[in-house]
Each structure stands twice: as structure tokens, then as C-alpha cells.
Amino acid sequence: MKLVTYSVGGGAPEVGVVEGDEIRPLGHESMIDFIGHGGSPEPGEDVVKLADARLHAPVPRPGKVICIGLNYEDHAEETGAPIPEKPIVFAKFANSVVGPGEPIVIPPITSQVDYEAELAVVIGKTARNVPESEAMDHVYGYTNANDVSARDIQLGEGGQWTRGKAIDTFCPLGPYLVTRDEVPDPQKLSIRCTLNGETVQDGTTDKMIFPVSELVSFLSTGMTLEPGDVIITGTPPGVGMARDPQLWMKQGDEVTIEVEGLGALTNPVQAE
């Protein structure tokens, strides 16, 4: 099932299910509310053409956006960082989240803005102290994420990961929330980023150091995960920071993230 948060003609956002080239409303204004009420669709009779709808981030204002750093061994190697023994955790916030087609806005405080293609996990039911063997029962589905990063802040201010990554608009999500049943194995997905049509990242999720099940279990230890919370699971190699010469996003660029089966998330880049 492909779910969206969408609006038509400037109206209020609502939740719908995509069926071919159409959207059927599900009677909920909030994806968090929909998931929290069981996440089982009861489509209405009204139909909206997908082409006529504006798609928002599937979860526009998550309660938590939890991010994992250096979770692909080959990405850690390209940055010269040691392979982590435990997941590296940082956060983004609701103001960081934008949807497909919305601009990534570069503020004056940074000139080194990088892309990161990532698989995002959306929590379906409350999880606390969950063993890894039960972790996937708490996953509702998946979407594309771009962990946009201001490297000069992240690395140049003494390791400010959250400050460098939680800037407004620096967490594009979408276009769909694809339910877990349509993704049999999240560790067997291709993951790709293109910048202005050129492929800059091309990897697979089987290279994750800590798989989705382990991340959910680890994060639930001491931290309650709630319906609609988002876990962004790390990026494969090819980031702009590790290139020679380095490659930074700038005004006028267009960046696209594609995780297999989740559609394509495209955002323009503009300067504030």
C-alpha cells in the first residue's frame, strides 16, 4: 500500500491511498493519527487524480526524526572515520521536514551543503525495550529521505551533527509511505541519489552495518518510539564531502533520492 499526505487546490492536507493514477481519501488529516488508529485503510468514494494533487511529506511533522550516522561501512571508509561499534545517533526536527518538490533552502550560515540518500523507517506502534526479534512488528513502512548536511557546521564547529543537519528544510521525505508488507526485506534495496541528473550515489541497503531491526531495538532501549516517528538509517558512499574536488549543492540544483520500490523524491535547491 502506498500512502500519501496530499492536498488539492490549496485545501487542507489529508491522508490518502494511491491506487494507480488516483488517490482515495482515508478520512484522516494526519498520518500520525491514521497510523495511531491502526493504519488500516477504509478508502472513501471520492477520487482525486494523482496528477492534480500536491504531495506533502508523508509524515509532515514527526514527533521524532532520529538519524543514524556512518551506518554503511564503505561510507565510513570514504570519510576516514572508524567503523562504529554502536549506532551513532543524532536528531532532526519537524521544521527540518519538507515534502517532494519543496525547496531545500540554504541559509547564509553554511556554504558546504551535502546530499545523503537514505532509507527512512516509519514506526507503526509504540516501542520501548523491544528485542530485535520483535522489532519489525513495530515498523509501519518506509519512505525516501535526504539527510541534507551542512558539513562546515557539522565538522567545523567541534562535531555539531545536530546543528549541521537539523537546519530548516534539511530533511526531505517522500513521496510515499510504503507499508512494510510491500517491502519484504529492507536490507535488499537499491539506493540512489542524482544531482542535476548525474548519479552521485548508487548503493544497496545490504551494506548497512546495523540493519533496520537492530536500529529499532537499539533506539527503543530507554527511548519510547511512537507511531509516526521516523528513523533515517544512514547513507551509502558518494557524498559530496568525500569527493575530489568536493561537491556541494547550490542555488538552482535539483536532487533526487530513489530507494527501490519507494518512488522518487525530488527537491530543488535555493539560497535563502
Segments making up each domain of the chain, as ranges: 2-55, 65-271
Confidence of residue 74 (pLDDT cuts 50, 70, 90): confident
Using a CB cutoff of 8 Å and minimum separation of 24, what contacts does 129-135 make? 129/220, 129/221, 129/222, 130/216, 130/217, 130/220, 131/217, 132/213, 132/214, 132/216, 132/217, 135/212, 135/213, 135/214, 135/216, 135/217, 135/220
pLDDT tens by residue, 179-198: 999 999 999 999 999 999 99
Instruction: Retrieve residue 163's grid coordinates.
Output: 546543528
Residue 49 has pLDDT above 90, yes or no: yes
Share the mean pLDDT of the chain: 96
Instruction: Retrieve residue 264's grid coordinates.
Output: 522518487
Residue 94 has pLDDT above 80, yes or no: yes
- The structure's pTM equals 0.96
For residues 79-86, average pLDDT: 89
State the CATH class of domain 65-271: alpha beta
pLDDT tens by residue, 7-47: 999 899 999 999 999 999 998 999 999 999 888 877 777 89
